[in-house]
Each structure stands twice: as structure tokens, then as C-alpha cells.
Amino acid sequence: MRWWILLCALLLAVPAAADETSAADGFPVWLANYRQAAIARGLEAQWVDTALANAQYLPRVVALDRNQPDDSGKRNIFADYLARQLTQQRIDDGIARSRPHRAMLARIAAETGVPAEIIVAIWGMETSYGRVMGNFDLPSAIATLAYDARREALFTRELDALVRMVSEGRVSRDQLRGSWAGAFGQSQFLPSSYLAYARDGDGDGRADIWNSAPDAFASIANYLKESGWRPGIGWGFRVGLPAGFDRETVRNPEKPASCIRPMERHSVWLTAKQWRERGFTPLNALWPADDVRMSLVEPDGAEGDAYLTTDNYRALMAYNCSNFYALSVALLANAVQSSLRP
């Protein structure tokens, strides 16, 4: 019977291999169609050809895109994710690696209103403080995601932006390495974010988020500022729920149009005063001003921890639309905060 079991296993494996081969076969046709459409949108043919030279279909990118925590459709536990992300090593590294940049971080925080610890936490979560920036070929990764049906429109726009980056001389084709999701540099920006938000933090006239930590800091802060970060109200805090709390009373009646699974974990907005009057209790935190609006976020639903979050939390989600990610950044920021104060 062993031969029969082996044959069945081989037969079951054929459709997946065939699908993968079929996808790879269709990619050159899609790329040729993209080139034609991009030129029609105003991109020069030479720009497209230079930026996309040797671009290939990457099945690994599609697999990774299907398996993101908090948005994969699978049951993921935030506590498990946090234990992997918020390690003592990551906290200690953040304190040590940000120490030489304290003055620069303080200046950028004063200019933008984004606290130094938030900048450092994103730096740490995105690239382990500039040490892990990804080694995927960016044109291949972004083109693969654009070719794939799940987020075609988004990554087609990012591919256009990548072509513009090369055409403007901001980066050469051989420098285009980054994450499977198309992000790059110490701040892990997508191409459109780089074009819109990258800033020169060290004063050399270039926004070099690959090699300059100050440029990465200034770019992260500018991104969050433009995404709605408000000075002085923090991101929120973990909260104790009142006895007998009925979640239906704060359910958001509006269905999210994007970032659907993570945003379904968010309640309606109420003011801090209204939450306090309902019996909610901050854990190791203080209430903001009475009129600050806050939303209840339970990343694991009723079974896990609960957090009251401000508009600044939504700015963190603009960076990466995942409650797991935004909460990990926020809690890492809390952990390194004291080391960045004067």
C-alpha cells in the first residue's frame, strides 16, 4: 500500500505545482502589458525598461502575502505575536542603538510632534534598528504583487512610483533591494511613500533612508505627522473593562471599507470622559483630556487584552494596517521611552 499512498501524494501535489507554473508563465505577458499601460500613463519607456530589467515572478512573495498576521483569515493570537516581537533583546537594542541619536531624535520630535520613542519603535519593528532591510529584488516583488489579483491596483501604483524613483535618480536599479512586500530602507517605505514623505534629516540634501538613520527618523516622523499624528495625546493604553460590559453598546455601526479585519476590532469613538464614566480603568497609564476621542481595540476579541486608543493609534496603523503591528510599536515605544528623555 505504500506505493499507493506515495502516488496519491504526488497526484495531490500536481495542481499546486501546475498553478505555480501557470502563474509564472503568464507573468511576462502581464509585464509587457504593464509596460504599455505605464507609457500611456506618462512614464518614459526607458525608465520602465531600466527599473524593471530582469524582473521575475516570485511565488514566495505571493505565499507571504497570504499569511500576514491579523489579516490572513487564520486564528492568530496577539499575545503570541507580541512575545516574539517585544523581546528584552529588542528593547535593549533600541535603547543602545538610539543613544547616539538622542539629540537628533529630540530635534525631529520637536519639529514634528512625533515622540522620539515612537520613531525608535518603528525603526526597531521595521528593520531591527537599520540592520535588516530585506534582500528581495524590489521590481520583482512589487511586480509580482501587482500581477497577483489580491491587490493589483495598489501595487501597480507602487510599481509606477518605483519607476519614477529610478527615473529621478534617487536610486539605481542595482540598489533596489527590500522586503517581500516592496518596502525598503531603514524606515521600510513603499515607493509612493518614499516619494511623498522621505525627508533629509542629516542636512546633506538627500533623503537617504538606506544609509542615514537621521534621514530614516525624519521620514518616519513626517509620515506619521502627515497621517494625522497629534502632539500631546499619546497613542492610548491597556484598559480594564467594567464588570458586565456589553460590547454591543459600543459596536461601530459603520463597516470598514479598507483594512477590514483589523478595523473590525475597533469600537465606535467615544471621548475619554465617556469611557471613564462607563467604568473603564487605565492600567499603568493616565487618562488624557476629557475631550480626547478614543476607540476600544480588542485584537483577540473578548478573550484577550483590551486597549483604548486615540487618533494617533490610527496614524500607526497607516504605517502598517495591523492591530498586532500598531500595538507592538506602541508597547515597544513605552518600553524605551525613559531612555530617550533628557
291 found inside a domain:
yes
Q: Mean pLDDT check: name the lowest of 15-24, 40-49, 115-124.
A: 15-24
What pLDDT is recorded for position 74?
60
Confidence of residue 49 (pLDDT cuts 50, 70, 90): very high
Higher pLDDT, 149 or 35: 35
- Report in angstroms the alpha-carbon separations of 179 from 8, 64, 134, 188, 230: 36, 11, 4, 8, 29
* Number of domains forming the structure of the chain: 1
Alpha-carbon span 156 to 163, nearest angstrom? 11
Q: Mean pLDDT check: name the lowest of 16-20, 109-113, 131-135.
A: 16-20
- E strand map for 167-252: 177-178, 236-240
What pLDDT is recorded for position 251?
96
Size of the chain, expressed as the number of residues it contains: 342
278 found inside a domain:
yes
Higher pLDDT, 150 or 110: 110
Asked if residue 265 has pLDDT above 70, the reply is yes
289 found inside a domain:
yes
Residue 61: name the closest of 128, 158, 171, 186 by CA: 158
12 found inside a domain:
no
25-38: pLDDT as tens digits: 899 999 999 999 99
- E strand map for 36-129: none
Confidence of residue 1 (pLDDT cuts 50, 70, 90): very low
Confidence of residue 134 (pLDDT cuts 50, 70, 90): very high
Q: Report if pTM > 0.85.
A: yes
Alpha-carbon span 165 to 300, nearest angstrom? 39
231 found inside a domain:
no
217-226: pLDDT as tens digits: 999 999 999 9
What pLDDT is recorded for position 150?
82
Higher pLDDT, 207 or 22: 207
Confidence of residue 22 (pLDDT cuts 50, 70, 90): confident
What average pLDDT does range 48-75 have in this prediction? 83
Asked if residue 303 has pLDDT above 90, the reply is no
Asked if residue 21 has pLDDT above 90, the reply is no
What pLDDT is recorded for position 341?
78
CB 293 within 8 A of CB 96: no
246 found inside a domain:
yes
Asked if residue 76 has pLDDT above 90, the reply is no
252 found inside a domain:
yes
Asked if residue 293 has pLDDT above 90, the reply is yes
Domain hosting residue 283, numbered range: 236-309
288 found inside a domain:
yes
What pLDDT is recorded for position 151?
87
Task: Round the average pLDDT of the chain to a whole number and report it.
Answer: 91
Confidence of residue 24 (pLDDT cuts 50, 70, 90): confident
